[in-house]
């Protein structure tokens, strides 16, 4: 059978992937953990980013709905970016650490900014 | 995990595309049909086949039509217990709820008018909420008569919501799945470009005579790349439209205090009361307010028709009337709202010029929702949507073609399952759509709950097409092609022609009449599109049949079988 262009080599070679050494110890869980990180972690991190950016822009004097709309636009694009990064990043652990840490941090800053604005 | 960046993107593209491609297919196809949702409505509801009407007189037509509205039984049963505070007495009976809000909505393509009322729950648990039980209707704006309520506007009430909610309302799960699919569409486009790198060449590459697998990949790349900005834009704005309400509702969660304070400030600045005053007041002439709104738009060099009319806090001293301009002549979905005091008719507020962020948002959502009047552009939208379908469908086919020989050798059912699902969501979706349109014409007009039957038939036919594809798919696990593809193509052709004939027989509107004698393009357009689909489906079926015959000849020759595998 004719070999197709080079880029497909990676798609169907599950065996090849299993051979490769991974930074993550539980190889069989690597894919499900990345899928979960991309979808659930990505959603949480984007949500937190939207909260952070909305509160941040509002703190800078932007009208609330302007701040919210602008943050939503960026948040949607960010979600897509996170999904890609969750698979491109070398370490699954790092993906989870960044997404969970980032969500927590962005949320805390958002709440703190809100407290400052309202006080 | 992956050897390099491009391999990780290829994995992402393949598997997320496969998992959510079925959903995206529904979004793109029914989104494309939604461009002409009002036209499908006319086709499905023959008594509404007349010319689009402007917003009628409130005092003569709308007021009595609003007065006839009653709270919806299902809405009352579902929401009354949630909103009413039992500590403050027995719940008010459904028909005694007082109306608090009226609205009417029309576009430049609507002969009939959608109207609705929000009825107030007098003793609510939380006074700060809206506390409405709704009652909606569609009326003939020439007479004010209600159009039968148990009929289904197949275009605007079925195809349109299908493309963003899958018509699966439970916990809004359909809307969330579509949102995720939208994000994955953005990801698939970017990762697809990364996989290829030869994006410019893809514009001009299609080799239909090559091996099936090669031509499929060409077509997948071509349909993806040619309309790349279109696909990206619709996926992005589609998610954006629902982002604030469903996907990232930060203003209702952690930022609710900030949002609520803004509402109070806004209400003070705009002078539009947030709550009822509790003091009864009459309603001045709304017709005079409508005339004044049009006069002010014309004075701003934006003469136009009224698209949306809303009366808040009905019968109360805090009541006000909001009048929005129809967006027929520009991309941005602008309302240019003017608000009047309901009891006197004096202007309370004219919306100020938009901020740049609002302007951008209105432009983006306006370009997605296309309320403007531009028929050429509408057809380009349809073509873009169908290009998206072609891109997704060829993606499935490429997935199957690439693996089925290997799966056949390994005894795996993977390719067969994916192929059957692809049949169901490509040709099966068309069969279900056409089955619904045909059912709409064949079910007796007097049938009670006709719209419900049409929905059941839609899902039933679709399910049957999946079953058909699964049953006929055994040959795929041996490396062959599923005959369900061509059989369902024949079904599409037959159903499409039958729908056109049924429309002729049941309404007398044949193409000669709708095109020439008494032109009515909404119905003629649907009929012509159905006939075009029938021709294309027949061509596809014939090509597939010929290929299947060739394959049978080849596989009979044992030497050729090796080549084929």
Tell whether A41 is covered by a domain: yes
Q: Give the Cβ contact number of residue B537 at 10 Å.
A: 25
- The helix-helix angle for B414-442 and B484-507 (nearest 10°) equals 10
Structural domains counted in chain A? 1
pLDDT at B127: 87
A41 CB near a chain B CB, below 8 Å?
Answer: no
Residue among B8, B190, B250 whose CB faces A50 most closely: B250
Contact B239 A50 (CB under 8 A): no
Residue among B1, B191, B259 whose CB faces A30 most closely: B1
d(CA A5, CA A16): 18
Tell whether A3 is covered by a domain: no
Over its length of 565 residues, how does chain B's per-residue pLDDT go in tens digits?
A: 688 898 999 999 999 999 999 999 999 999 999 999 999 999 999 999 999 999 999 999 999 999 999 999 999 999 999 999 999 999 999 999 999 999 999 999 999 999 999 999 999 999 888 899 999 999 999 999 999 888 999 999 999 999 999 999 999 999 999 999 999 999 999 999 988 876 666 666 777 777 788 888 889 989 998 999 999 999 999 999 999 999 999 999 999 999 999 988 888 888 898 889 999 999 999 999 999 999 999 999 999 999 999 999 999 999 999 999 998 888 887 788 999 999 999 999 998 888 999 999 999 999 999 989 999 999 999 999 999 999 999 999 999 999 999 999 999 999 999 999 999 999 999 999 999 999 999 999 999 999 999 999 999 999 999 999 999 999 999 988 999 999 999 999 999 999 999 999 999 999 999 999 999 999 999 999 999 999 999 999 999 999 888 877 776 655 444 444 4
- Give the best residue of B20, B24, B201, B254 to mutate against chain A (max A CB count within 10 A): B254
pLDDT at B19: 97
pLDDT at A17 over 80: no
Q: How many residue contacts between A and B have a Cβ separation below 8 Å?
A: 137
Tell whether A8 is covered by a domain: no
CB A116 within 8 A of CB A59: yes
B411, with CB counted inside 10 A (0-12, 13-18, 19+), is exposed
- Measured over the CA atoms of residue B424, residue B428, residue B433 and residue B437, the dihedral's sign is negative
Search chain B and give the residue with CA nearest A63. B262
Question: Which residues on chain B are in Cβ contact (under 8 Å) with A42?
Answer: 183
Tell whether B135 is covered by a domain: yes
Q: Which helix (H) or strand (E) element contains residue B88?
A: none
- Give the best residue of B269, B357, B359, B405 to mutate against chain A (max A CB count within 10 A): B357
- Measured over the CA atoms of residue B44, residue B46, residue B51 and residue B55, the dihedral's sign is negative
Contact A76 B14 (CB under 8 A): no
Strand order in the sheet with B338-341: B132-139, B113-120, B99-105, B306-312, B320-325, B338-341, B347-350
CB B302 within 8 A of CB B326: no
- Give the best residue of B14, B180, B183 to mutate against chain A (max A CB count within 10 A): B183
Q: pTM value? A: 0.91
Report pLDDT digits (tens) over A58-106.
999 999 999 999 999 999 999 999 999 999 999 999 999 999 999 999 9
Tell whether A14 is covered by a domain: no
Contact A68 B251 (CB under 8 A): yes
Tell whether A18 is covered by a domain: no
Q: How many CA atoms lie within 13 A of B137 on its CB side?
A: 21
Question: Which residues on chain B are in Cβ contact (under 8 Å) with A24?
Answer: 1
Question: Which residues on chain B are in Cβ contact (under 8 Å) with A83?
Answer: 12, 16, 183-184, 187
In sequence order, what are the residues at sequence separation of 6 or more whose Cβ sits closer than 8 angstroms to the Cβ of residue B331? Answer: B363, B366, B367, B372
Q: How near does any CA of chain A get to the CA of B374, in Å?
A: 27
Tell whether B467 is covered by a domain: no
- Domain range for A85 is 28-118
d(CA B226, CA B110): 33
Q: What's the ipTM? A: 0.91
Segment 20-39 of chain A within 8 Å of chain B by CB: 20, 22, 24, 30-31, 34, 39
Tell whether A74 is covered by a domain: yes
Question: Which residues on chain A are in Cβ contact (under 8 Å) with B418?
Answer: none
Residue among B214, B247, B250 whose CB faces A51 most closely: B250
Structural domains counted in chain B? 1
Tell whether B311 is covered by a domain: yes
Q: How near does any CA of chain A get to the CA of B271, in Å?
A: 17
pLDDT at B1: 65
pLDDT at A13: 42
């Amino acid at each position: 059978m004719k070999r197709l262009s080079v880029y497909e080599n990676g798609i169907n070679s599950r065996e090849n992937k299993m051979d490769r050494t991974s930074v993550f110890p539980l190889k069989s869980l690597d894919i499900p953990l990345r899928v979960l990180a991309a979808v659930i972690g990505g959603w949480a991190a984007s949500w937190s980013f939207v909260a952070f950016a909305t509160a941040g822009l509002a703190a800078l004097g932007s009208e609330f709905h302007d701040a919210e709309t602008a943050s939503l636009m960026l948040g949607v694009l960010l979600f897509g970016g996170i999904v890609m990064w969750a698979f491109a990043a070398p370490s699954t652990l790092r993906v989870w650490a960044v997404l969970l840490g980032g969500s927590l941090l962005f949320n805390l800053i958002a709440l703190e900014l809100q407290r400052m604005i309202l006080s | 995990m992956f050897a390099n960046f491009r391999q990780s993107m290829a994995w992402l593209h393949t598997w997320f595309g496969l998992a959510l491609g079925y959903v995206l297919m529904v979004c793109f196809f029914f989104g494309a049909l939604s461009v002409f949702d009002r036209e499908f409505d006319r086709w499905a509801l023959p008594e509404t086949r007349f010319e689009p009407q402007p917003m009628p007189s409130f005092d003569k037509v709308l007021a009595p039509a609003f007065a006839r509205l009653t709270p919806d039984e299902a809405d009352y049963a579902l929401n009354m217990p949630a909103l009413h505070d039992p500590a403050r007495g027995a719940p008010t009976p459904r028909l005694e709820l007082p109306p608090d809000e009226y609205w009417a909505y029309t576009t430049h393509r609507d002969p009939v008018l959608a109207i609705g009322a929000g009825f107030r729950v007098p003793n609510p648990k939380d006074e700060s909420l809206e506390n409405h039980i709704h009652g909606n209707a569609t009326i003939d704006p020439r007479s004010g008569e209600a159009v039968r309520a148990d009929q289904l506007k197949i275009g605007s009430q079925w195809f349109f919501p299908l493309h963003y909610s899958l018509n699966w309302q439970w916990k809004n799960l359909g809307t969330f799945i579509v949102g995720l699919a939208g994000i994955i569409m953005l990801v698939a486009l970017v990762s697809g470009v990364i996989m290829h790198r030869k994006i410019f060449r893809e514009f001009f590459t299609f080799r239909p005579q090559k091996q099936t697998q090669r031509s499929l990949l060409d077509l997948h790349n071509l349909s993806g790349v040619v309309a790349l900005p279109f696909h990206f834009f619709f996926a992005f704005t589609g998610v954006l439209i629902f982002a604030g309400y469903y996907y990232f509702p930060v203003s209702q969660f952690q930022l609710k205090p900030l949002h609520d304070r803004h509402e109070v400030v806004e209400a003070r600045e705009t002078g539009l009361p947030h709550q009822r005053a509790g003091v009864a007041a009459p309603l001045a002439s709304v017709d005079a307010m409508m005339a004044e709104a049009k006069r002010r738009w014309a004075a701003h060099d934006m003469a136009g028709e009224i698209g949306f009319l809303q009366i808040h806090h009905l019968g109360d001293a805090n009541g006000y009337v909001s009048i929005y301009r129809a967006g027929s002549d520009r991309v941005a979905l602008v309302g240019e709202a003017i608000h009047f005091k309901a009891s006197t008719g004096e202007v309370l507020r004219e919306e100020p010029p938009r901020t740049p962020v609002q302007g951008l948002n209105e432009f983006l959502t306006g370009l997605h929702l296309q309320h403007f009047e531009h028929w050429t552009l509408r057809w380009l939208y349809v073509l873009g949507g169908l290009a998206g379908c072609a891109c997704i469908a060829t993606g499935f086919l490429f997935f199957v073609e690439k693996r089925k020989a290997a799966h056949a050798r390994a005894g795996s059912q993977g390719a067969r399952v994916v192929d059957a699902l692809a049949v169901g969501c490509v040709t099966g979706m068309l069969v279900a759509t056409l089955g619904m349109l045909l059912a709409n014409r064949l079910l007796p007009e007097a049938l009670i709950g006709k719209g419900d039957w049409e929905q059941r038939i839609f899902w039933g036919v679709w399910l049957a097409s999946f079953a058909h594809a699964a049953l006929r798919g055994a040959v795929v696990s041996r490396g062959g092609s599923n005959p369900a593809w061509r059989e369902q193509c024949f079904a599409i052709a037959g159903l499409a022609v039958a729908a056109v004939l049924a429309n002729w027989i049941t309404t007398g509107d044949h193409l000669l009449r709708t095109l020439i004698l008494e032109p009515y393009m909404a119905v003629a357009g649907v009929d012509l599109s159905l006939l075009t689909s029938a021709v294309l489906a027949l061509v596809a079926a014939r090509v597939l049949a010929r290929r299947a015959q060739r394959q049978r000849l080849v596989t009979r020759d044992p030497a050729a079988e090796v080549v084929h595998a």
